[in-house]
């Protein structure tokens, strides 16, 4: 069905050498640690691919700035979650090696080495972007270099809008070392009284906050900016009048985000999460960043006061600290420096049919939703909004992992409750970095009389479900939405996700039993749904083994998995066994991936592709050829141990032939991509594919066009024909890629 694309012979900006695993033994022993790539290092390698988008001249200029900022933000979260977790393992005395043969100490050392390389490359990319931005009139300048009149206006602004907020904190024997907030930018100021020899130190927090100030301050309302920290440095004489400023250097700290009390010991889960959030504020520090040129004595003092190893945990940064703030620059409204605006197009079956959406689903069968190519508002939000108002709807149940105040989801649930419907919502309080928001949503819903549940003890509820019970004629019918992404109107515009609207009786019964299990204690029995942690992993392993049996019996064995991550060791091992048996294995994995393709005698029939583009790839698809009786599933779970064993996840079958064709088109288009695709090499590094023509579009741009063409074809009742033509087109490209290779 799908042929393997060629891999360019030259290496296009491969990852740092520190990410490369040890060479494998020729025996291809599946217990060999070298076969299993490290989870942390492969995630850092993904960030190298993101950084490449910032360096790629084919990417519009302000989009390049955006990618640079995203890498900075990702590294912050990496230290908070992954390095923080490894440091906890060390503190607990854990010396057990990971499947790739590394102890926690060895993993931290390897990760820190890669992070230092990434920091250096960030600086190189930023240095190349600065003159290109200047060519467009966009500059970040030093306050001291501005004309006197502009300088004086900024000084007045500082005195009226910034100075009253600042609180310099002395650092001496009479004053304890001040608390340093996570990820906040700080100034370390050294000063003395006039004529005195003794120096004093003070810390001043740079107040970058939504209600106070952005990091970048526009000068004269144009495209010239100064940083807030530079403005503060230029006005230290106002903060310390009469004092002599000896030096000033920026620094910031990163704190561990892994603070998880035992749920079994907690009498109230919401109260436990609130306690965790307070403790996280004071969590141990795992990284100190200082600007280049800071006095070594001051650097050592900070490291000692913060309890860090100066050689390992201190990162000296040349140039701008906290590059995540460059998102402010990337948000400039200069259309010619951005990607072409993307306007989602309506679902072909919903665009002109303003009937009750439940009638459309019942009469047309299941609908496959593709975000961001189709709008969230007129699909998912329309579904739940209709449920809130429809007098025949009796009950609504849903899971909330992450959501937003801007969308209509919460308002629809509130209206449904006020309209007398039974409404139950499972709010996952343990969604990392969204705990505080989810507590607010939970309390808001409870105040409206909605039944709020916090899930199953010991498990995170990560599945994406909306369940509606409606009286259709003389019977009750179950309708549902099952998705791969969160019910979040913001990320629905930025992430690629899939969802199904349907009313299949067996699947509806499965979801009924799942909600009864989540909100109560009813033991579930599932007919079609794959549900973790109960049977999902076991079923996937069985299906992989089934492909091996098909291959050994002379039938084509073929597995395709599109995921964010492939980390589970058992799944990885089973995929090696399948590939060794000759089963074709296509893995479209966005970031973390333990599997190594194209190893002689083991994984020669396998390939690993990573797609990096303007949208974050987030959809999850499982495909098994199954001797011609094909199996397609979509859902919420990545192939990670935590998802398969410690979370409530749902994958749903896609049985409708037209919907399967849509999934086939997505898979074929991504495997044929020649702009956004990176091929993993046998050593675990990646090479970006390069087309002959630099104007070649990436798969996401192609799918934007596909959505538009499908809508036009639907208006002419030719959607089936255009879908078949597109599938044929991408399969021909796959064959052509193989032949040209």
Which residues are catalytically annotated? 462
| Strand bridging mode 558-563 / 677-680 | unpaired
Stretch (H or E) spanning 252: strand 244-255
Q: How far is CA 413 from CA 69, 397, 435, 565, 678, in A?
A: 35, 9, 20, 32, 42
- Identify any residues that bridge with 251 across adjacent strands, giving them in sequence order: 186, 290
Q: Under a CB-based contact definition with an 8 Å cutoff, are residues 656 and 366 in contact?
A: yes
H or E stretch at 499: strand 495-502
Alpha-carbon span 443 to 420, nearest angstrom = 19
Per DSSP bridges, beta strands 495-502 and 616-617 are parallel
Per DSSP, the three-state class of 373 is coil
Side-chain half-sphere exposure of 281, counting CA atoms within 13 A = 7
What number of other Cβ atoms are within 10 A of residue 623's Cβ?
A: 22
Secondary structure (3-state) at 500? strand
CA 171 to CA 86: how far, in whole Å?
A: 31
Strand partners, 400: 427
Q: How far apart, in whole angstroms, are the C-alpha atoms of residue 593 and residue 249?
A: 39
Residue 693 · residue 58 · CB < 8 Å: no
| Distance, CA of 585 to CA of 579 (rounded, Å) | 6
- Residue 302 in 3-state DSSP? helix
Question: Hey, which residues does 186 pair with through a beta bridge?
Answer: 205, 251
Q: Report the 3 state secondary structure along 449-495.
A: CCEEECCCCCCEECCEEEEEEEEECCEEEEEEEEECCCCCCCHHHCE
Full DSSP string of 125-174 = HHHHHHHHHHHTT-EE--GGGS-HHHHHHHHHHIIIIIGGG---EEEBTT
* Full DSSP string of 558-606: EEEEEES-B--HHHHHHHHHHHHTT-EEEEEESS-B------TTTSTTE
Cα distance between residue 499 and residue 371, in whole Å: 8
Residues forming beta bridges with residue 453, ordered by sequence position:
426
Q: What are the backbone dihedrals phi and psi of residue 505, each rounded to the nearest 5 degrees, phi first?
A: -65, -45
Cα–Cα–Cα angle for 455, 486, 182, rounded to 5 degrees: 85
- The CA–CA distances, whole Å, from 724 to 368, 432, 513 equal 16, 41, 37
Q: How far apart are CA 26 and CA 600, in angstroms?
A: 8
* CA distances from residue 368 to 115, 378, 502, 588, 654 in whole angstroms, order as listed: 40, 13, 9, 20, 9
Q: CB-based burial of residue 260 (10 Å sphere; 0-12 exposed, 13-18 middle, 19+ buried)?
A: middle
DSSP collapsed to 3 states, 330-343: HCCCCHHHCCCCCC
> With contact defined as beta carbons under 8 Å apart, do 254 and 80 qualify?
yes
Token pair, residue 399, equals 């899971």
Q: Residue 392 carries which DSSP code? A: T
Instruction: Return the bridge partners of 610, or none.
Output: 678
């Amino acid at each position: 069905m799908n042929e393997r694309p060629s891999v360019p012979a030259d290496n296009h900006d491969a990852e740092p050498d520190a990410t490369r695993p040890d060479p494998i033994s020729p025996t291809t022993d599946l217990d060999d640690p070298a076969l299993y790539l490290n989870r942390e290092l492969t995630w850092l390698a993904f960030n190298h691919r993101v950084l490449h988008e910032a360096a790629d001249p084919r990417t519009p200029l302000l989009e390049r700035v955006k990618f640079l900022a995203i890498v900075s933000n990702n590294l912050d979260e990496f230290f908070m979650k992954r390095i923080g977790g490894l440091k906890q393992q060390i503190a607990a005395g854990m010396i057990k090696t990971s499947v790739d043969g590394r102890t926690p100490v060895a993993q931290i050392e390897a990760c820190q080495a890669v992070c230092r390389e990434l920091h250096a490359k960030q600086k190189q990319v930023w240095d190349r972007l600065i003159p290109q931005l200047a060519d467009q009139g966009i500059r970040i300048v030093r306050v001291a270099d501005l004309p006197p009149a502009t300088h004086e206006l900024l000084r007045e602004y500082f005195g009226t809008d910034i100075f009253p907020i600042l609180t310099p904190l002395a650092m001496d024997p009479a004053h304890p070392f001040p608390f340093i907030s996570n990820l906040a930018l700080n100034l370390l100021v050294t000063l003395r009284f006039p004529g005195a020899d003794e120096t004093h130190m003070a810390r001043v927090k740079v107040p970058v906050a939504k209600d106070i100030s952005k990091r970048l301050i526009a000068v004269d309302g144009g495209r010239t900016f100064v940083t807030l920290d530079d403005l503060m440095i230029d006005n230290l004489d106002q903060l310390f009048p009469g004092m002599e400023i000896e030096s000033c250097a920026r620094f910031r700290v990163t704190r561990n985000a892994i603070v998880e009390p035992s749920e079994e010991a907690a009498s109230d889960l919401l109260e436990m999460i609130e306690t965790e959030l307070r403790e996280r504020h004071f969590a141990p520090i795992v990284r100190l960043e200082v600007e280049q040129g800071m006095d070594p004595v001051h650097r050592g003092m900070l490291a000692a006061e913060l309890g860090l190893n100066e050689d390992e945990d201190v990162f000296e940064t040349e140039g701008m600290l906290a590059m995540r703030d460059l998102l402010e620059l990337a948000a400039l409204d200069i259309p010619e420096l951005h990607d072409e605006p993307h306007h989602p197009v309506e679902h072909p079956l919903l665009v002109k049919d303003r009937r009750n959406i439940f009638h459309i689903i019942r009469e047309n069968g299941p609908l496959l939703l593709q975000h961001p190519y189709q709008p969230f508002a007129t699909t998912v939000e329309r579904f739940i909004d209709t449920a809130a108002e429809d007098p025949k709807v009796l009950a609504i149940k849903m899971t909330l992992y992450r959501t937003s105040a801007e969308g209509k989801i919460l308002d629809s649930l509130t209206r449904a409750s006020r309209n007398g419907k039974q409404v139950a919502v499972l709010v996952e309080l343990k969604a990392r970095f969204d705990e505080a928001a989810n507590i607010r949503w939970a309390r808001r819903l409870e105040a409206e009389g909605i039944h709020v549940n916090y899930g199953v003890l010991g498990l995170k509820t990560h599945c994406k479900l909306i369940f509606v019970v409606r009286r259709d004629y003389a019977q009750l019918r179950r309708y549902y939405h099952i998705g791969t992404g969160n019910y979040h109107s913001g990320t629905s515009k930025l992430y690629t996700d899939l969802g199904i609207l349907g009313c299949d009786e067996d699947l509806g019964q499965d979801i009924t039993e799942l909600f009864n299990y989540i909100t109560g204690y009813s033991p579930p029995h599932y007919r079609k749904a794959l549900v973790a942690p109960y049977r999902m992993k076991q079923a996937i392993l069985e299906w992989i083994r089934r492909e091996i049996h098909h291959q050994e019996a002379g039938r084509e064995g073929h597995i395709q998995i599109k995921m964010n991550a492939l980390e589970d060791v058992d799944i990885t091992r089973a995929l090696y066994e399948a590939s060794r048996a000759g089963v074709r294995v296509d893995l479209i994995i966005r970031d973390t991936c333990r599997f190594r393709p194209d190893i002689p005698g083991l994984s020669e029939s396998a390939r690993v592709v990573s797609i990096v583009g303007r949208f974050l790839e987030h959809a999850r698809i499982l495909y098994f050829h199954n001797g011609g009786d094909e199996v397609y599933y979509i859902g919420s779970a990545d192939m990670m141990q935590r998802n398969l064993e410690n979370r409530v996840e749902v994958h749903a079958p896609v049985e409708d032939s037209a919907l399967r064709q849509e999934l086939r088109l997505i898979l074929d288009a991504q495997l044929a991509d020649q702009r956004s695709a990176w091929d993993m090499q046998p050593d675990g590094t990646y090479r970006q594919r390069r087309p002959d023509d630099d104007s070649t579009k990436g798969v996401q741009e192609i799918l934007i066009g596909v959505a538009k063409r499908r809508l036009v074809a639907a208006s002419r009742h030719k959607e089936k024909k255009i879908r078949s033509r597109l599938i044929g087109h991408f399969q021909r490209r796959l064959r052509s890629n193989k032949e040209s290779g």
